Amino acid sequence: MVAAISEQIPTDLEPIFRSQPKLSPEERALVLRAYHYAAKAHEGVKRDGGEPYITHPVAVAQILADLRLDAPTLAAALLHDVVEDVEGIGIEDIERTFGAEVARLVDGVTKLEKLPTNTDAMKGGKAGNREAETLRKIFLSMNNDIRVVLIKLADRLHNMRTLGYVSPERQIRKARETLDIFAPLANRLGMWQMKWELEDLSFRYLNPEKYREIAAQLDIRRAEREQYLETVKARLIKEISAEGIPIVQISARPKHIYSIYRKMERKRVSFDQIYDIHALRVIVPEKGQCYQVLGVVHNIWRPIPGELDDYIGAPKNNFYQSLHTAVIDDQGKTIEVQIRTPEMHENAEYGIAAHWRYKEGTAHDKVFEERLRYLRRLIESAAEDVGADSDPQEFVKAMRSDVFQSRVYVFTPKGDVIDLPSGATPIDFAYHIHTDVGHRCRGARVNGIQVPLDYRLKSGDRVEIITGNKRAGPSLDWLNPSLGYVQTSRARHKIQAWFKRVGRENNIALGRNVVDRELRRLGLSAKPREEVAALFGYSKVDDFFAAVGYGDISAPNIATKVLEADRKAQREAAAATLTPNTEAHTRPVNVSDGIDIMGGSGMLITLGRCCNPVRGDPIVGYITRGKGVTVHRADCPNVINSLEPERFINVTWGSSVERAYPVPILITAYDREGLLRDIGAITANENVNIADLRVQVRNSIASIFLTIELENLDQLSRILAKIEMLPNVIEARRRVSV
Q: In what order do the strands lie in the sheet with 701-710?
A: 689-698, 701-710, 661-670, 729-734
- Closest by CA to 672, choosing from 704, 629, 632, is 704
Note whether 402 binds Mn ion by CB under 5 A: no
* Measured distance CA(109)–CA(76) in Å, rounded: 9
**Residue 600: is it exposed, middle or buried by C-beta count within 10 angstroms (0-12/13-18/19+)?**
exposed
Nearer to Mn ion, 78 or 408 (CB): 78
In whole angstroms, how close is the CB of 81 to Mn ion at the nearest point?
Answer: 5
Nearer to Mn ion, 131 or 155 (CB): 155
Near Mn ion in 337-356, by CB under 5 A: none
Note whether 155 binds Mn ion by CB under 5 A: yes
The question of whether 27 is a catalytic residue gets the answer no
Nearer to Mn ion, 77 or 597 (CB): 77
The question of whether 133 is a catalytic residue gets the answer no
Which range, of 150-158, 177-185, 226-234, 723-731, touches Mn ion by CB under 5 A? 150-158
Note whether 109 binds Mn ion by CB under 5 A: no
Nearer to Mn ion, 40 or 373 (CB): 40
In whole angstroms, how close is the CB of 317 to Mn ion at the nearest point?
Answer: 30
Which range, of 148-156, 191-199, 426-434, 624-632, touches Mn ion by CB under 5 A? 148-156
Active-site entry in 84, 95, 329, 419: 84
Q: Is 630 helix (H, G, I), strand (E, B) or coil?
A: strand
Residues 6+ apart with CB under 8 A from 61: 16, 31, 74, 77, 78, 154
* Chain residue whose CB lies nearest Mn ion: 155
User: CA 696, 701, 707 angle in degrees (round to 5)?
Assistant: 45
In whole angstroms, how close is the CB of 154 to Mn ion at the nearest point?
Answer: 9
* Measured distance CA(372)–CA(640) in Å, rounded: 68
In whole angstroms, how close is the CB of 564 to Mn ion at the nearest point?
Answer: 47
In whole angstroms, how close is the CB of 173 to Mn ion at the nearest point?
Answer: 16
Question: In angstroms, what CA-CA distances link 155 with 25, 147, 330, 599, 699?
Answer: 26, 12, 47, 53, 73
Nearer to Mn ion, 74 or 427 (CB): 74
- Judge contact between 551 and 502, C-beta under 8 A: no
Binding mask 560-589 for Mn ion (x = CB under 5 A): ------------------------------
* Measured distance CA(701)–CA(693) in Å, rounded: 16
Active-site entry in 12, 85, 239, 349: 85
Nearer to Mn ion, 84 or 310 (CB): 84
Report the half-sphere exposure of 33 (CA within 13 A, side-chain side).
14
Near Mn ion in 67-96, by CB under 5 A: 81
Q: Is 247 helix (H, G, I), strand (E, B) or coil?
A: coil
In whole angstroms, how close is the CB of 86 to Mn ion at the nearest point?
Answer: 12
Binding mask 110-129 for Mn ion (x = CB under 5 A): --------------------
Q: Is 125 left (phi over 0), alpha (psi -120 to 50) or beta?
A: left
Sign of CA dihedral 726, 728, 731, 734: negative
In whole angstroms, how close is the CB of 159 to Mn ion at the nearest point?
Answer: 7
With CB under 5 A as the rule, give the number of residues binding Mn ion.
Answer: 2
Nearer to Mn ion, 155 or 199 (CB): 155
In whole angstroms, how close is the CB of 60 to Mn ion at the nearest point?
Answer: 6
- Judge contact between 551 and 495, C-beta under 8 A: yes
Q: Is 729 helix (H, G, I), strand (E, B) or coil?
A: strand
Nearer to Mn ion, 159 or 322 (CB): 159
C-alpha torsion angle, residues 543, 545, 549, 554 (rounded to 10): 110
Active-site annotation, residues = 84-85
Contact residues toward Mn ion (CB under 5 A) are: 81, 155
